[in-house]
Amino acid sequence: MKPQHSDPTVQPVPAAVTAAVDAADITLSNPKWAVLALGANLGNRLETLQGAVDALEDTPGLRVKAVSRVYETEPWGVEPGSQPSYFNAVILVKTTLPPSSLLERAHAVEEAFHRVREERWGARTIDVDIVTYADVVSDDPELTLPHPRAHQRAFVLAPWQDVDPEAQLPGLGAVAELLAALGQDGVTPRTDLELRLPE
């Protein structure tokens, strides 16, 4: 089943992001690869994930190149049964945005879908996390790269392996090996659902 395209009102691209894109190569002739993880457990989860993919594709200086399968997963870091299950996916993008501007755009997409940040690991309409950006390694508290908990999360590793079976998590090794060590308990592929790669 393919989701119907939704056209949520997404906030305009901030001026700082536009300036960064203008200063870079908006033709994407020298882009960087980035891995983004998406998750939603409130509202119409599938429609929201697709809306986030489409909104990211609409960002100047960014192109979505691959979209994983949808996985249904148990909430992470909270008591079992305390929240609805998540739909999770991973996308690969090419972008000329620097990491800070990509993060700003990710937050803008979250805000457009009414993401509320009231508690750590709380339920949310959408979560857009930057997992990796090229081979950048950074301990900047605003954006730690790679994502500091990606290697602990099968709901990130499983869909990431879908779209890039040879993927490496900088400093930690092959995604396939990390996933094999974790196992996939509570992370179930939803073969009846599909996210559409923007045209």
| Residues known to be catalytic | 115, 124, 127, 129
CA-based radius of gyration for the chain: 16
List the structure tokens of 36: 């983004």
Report the candidate in 129, 113, 107, 17 with the shortest Cα–Cα distance to residue 62.
Answer: 17
Query: Is the distance from CB of 108 to CB of 13 less than 8 angstroms?
Result: yes
Tokens 């960087």 belong to 32
Residue 144 identity (one-letter amino acid): T
